Structure 1
C-alpha cells in the first residue's frame, strides 16, 4: 500500500517563501512586482511554466527561475509552515503499514531539506522531486519515474495533492488521485482533473486513503 503526497499546498503552506522569491526575481528583472495574493496560482505547477506565463513568454523564464532560486534556496524554502493535523495523519498512516512517499514538482534537493526541517522526514520512505534542469517537473513524468524506481503496481497507490497537476499525473500513470481543498487549487479545478475524492481537512484524509488504496482506479468525483 503506497500513498504519494504532494508537498506545497498539501503537506506545507509555502505561500510566503514562494511569493517573496517570485517578487525578488521580478524586481531583479526590472519587471513590475506583483502583490503576493496575485501570485499564488504559481504554487504547485512547474516553476518554469509559471514564469513563462507570468512574463508573457519563454525568453526571460530561465533567468527568472535562476533568480528565484537565488533567494529561495537560502531563505524562501523555510518561510513555510506545516498544515495543522498533517504530522498526526502521517504517524497514523505509517503505523498502519502504508508506505509514504513525497512526490513534488519542486526540486528534490529543496524538498528533502523542507521535509527534514519540519520534522516530517521520519514518516516518509523517500522524497521524490524534479531535477534543477526541470526534468520530472511534470507530475506525469515524476510519477512514472517513481514507479520505475519503486516497482509497485499503480493500482496499489494513490496520489494526494491540491492542484490539477497531481490528479492528471496520477491518472496518466494508473494511480487514483485524492484532491485536498486546503491548498491552492479550487474544488472546480480538482474535480475537472478527475479526483476520486475531495477532502477538506487532514483529519478527514485517513478514511478515503484506506478505502482507495488497492482498489481499481475509480471514476472521478461527481462523474
Structure 2
C-alpha cells in the first residue's frame, strides 16, 4: 500500500453501503410494506421499482421517498417509511441482515490502535441503533449519530454536530456516497470512499482522498 493517510484521531463511518449491506433488509421490507399498504387501502397500483429505493440509499429519507413515489403525499411517504422500518425491525429480530465481510475485525483493529469510532448516517434513529446492536458491533462506537435523531438537513451538518459534540478535531470520513465525501471535505476530514455497494453513480466518490473496494482495506492506510 503506497498511499498512507495521516493517523486519525477519529474515524466516522456511514452505515448503509459502508458497514452494512442495507439491501439485505431493505428489499424484502420494501415489498412487504407495499403489500401491506395495498391490503389496508392506503396505496393502489404496482409496487414502484425497488431500484428507485436502492439507488437512493444514503440520501435523506424525504429525498428517497420523493424518488420512489414522486408527487406522493407526505402522509403516503410517512406511511411507507413507517412500514419499511417495522418490517426491517422484524427481520433484524430474526437475525436477518448482513454486515460486509470483515467489519468486526476491521473495527477491532482500529479500536486497538486507540482510534475513536463513530457512525453518522442519514437513516432513522431506531434503524441505525438496531442494526448496530443486533449485528453486534455497538461496543466499538462512542456515538451513533443519525439524521432521524438530530433532524439535520444534510450529512455535512450531521458530521459537524458530531465533531462539535464529541470534541473531534480531525480524522477520516468513510462512506459510499457523494454526501459522505462532501461531509468529510467540508468538515476538514480525510475522505475514504467505499466502492463496493454499487448504489452510487460512476463519479459518486469524486474528491475522496482514497477509494477502497473492500472495507477490510481501511486499516492498510494507517501510517506505520
Alpha-carbon distance change, 116 to 47 in structure 1, aligned in 2, over 3 angstroms: same
- Given candidates 172, 182, 187, the residue that maps to 1:168 is 182
Q: Which residue of 1 aligns with 2:4?
A: none
Q: Which residue of 2 aligns with 1:200?
A: 213
Q: Is the 8 A contact 2:56 2:199 kept in 1?
A: no
Q: Report the 3-state secondary structure (helix = DSSP H, G, I; strand = E; otherwise coil) of the residue aligned with 2:202.
A: helix
Q: Report the 3-state secondary structure (helix = DSSP H, G, I; strand = E; otherwise coil) of the residue aligned with 2:117.
A: strand
- Given candidates 110, 113, 123, the residue that maps to 2:127 is 110
Q: Which residue of 1 aligns with 2:47?
A: 33
Q: What is the CA–CA distance in structure 2 between the aligned matches of 1:178 and 1:158, rounded to whole Å? A: 7
Q: Which residue of 1 aligns with 2:151?
A: 135
Structure possessing the higher relative contact order (Cα contacts under 8 Å, 6 or more residues apart): 2
Q: What is the CA–CA distance in structure 2 between the aligned matches of 1:62 and 1:116, rounded to whole Å? A: 25
Q: Which moved more, 1:75-84 or 1:50-59?
A: 75-84
Question: How far does residue 44 in structure 1 lie from its aligned partner after superposition?
Answer: 1.7
The 5 Å alignment of 1:21-170 reads 21-27=29-35, 28=37, 29-37=43-51, 39-57=53-71, 59=73, 60-75=76-91, 79-131=96-148, 135-136=151-152, 138-153=154-169, 156-170=170-184
Alpha-carbon distance change, 31 to 23 in structure 1, aligned in 2, over 3 angstroms: farther
**Rg larger for:** 2
Q: Cα RMSD over matched residues?
A: 2.3
Q: Report the 3-state secondary structure (helix = DSSP H, G, I; strand = E; otherwise coil) of the residue aligned with 1:30.
A: coil
Unaligned segments of structure 2, at least 5 residues: 1-8, 38-42
Q: Output the TM-score relative to the length of structure 2.
A: 0.81
Question: How far does residue 146 in structure 1 lie from its aligned partner after superposition?
Answer: 0.3
State how many pairs are aligned: 206
Question: How far does residue 159 in structure 1 lie from its aligned partner after superposition?
Answer: 0.7
Unaligned segments of structure 1, at least 5 residues: 212-223
Q: Report the 3-state secondary structure (helix = DSSP H, G, I; strand = E; otherwise coil) of the residue aligned with 2:156.
A: helix
Q: Report the 3-state secondary structure (helix = DSSP H, G, I; strand = E; otherwise coil) of the residue aligned with 1:65.
A: helix
Question: How far does residue 38 in structure 1 lie from its aligned partner after superposition?
Answer: 5.4
Q: Is the 8 A contact 1:5 1:102 kept in 2?
A: yes
Question: How far does residue 73 in structure 1 lie from its aligned partner after superposition?
Answer: 3.3
Q: What is the CA–CA distance in structure 1 between the aligned matches of 2:57 and 2:167, rounded to whole Å? A: 29
Q: Which residue of 1 aligns with 2:6?
A: none
Q: What is the CA–CA distance in structure 2 between the aligned matches of 1:87 and 1:21, rounded to whole Å? A: 25
- Given candidates 15, 18, 34, the residue that maps to 2:23 is 15
Q: Report the 3-state secondary structure (helix = DSSP H, G, I; strand = E; otherwise coil) of the residue aligned with 1:9.
A: coil
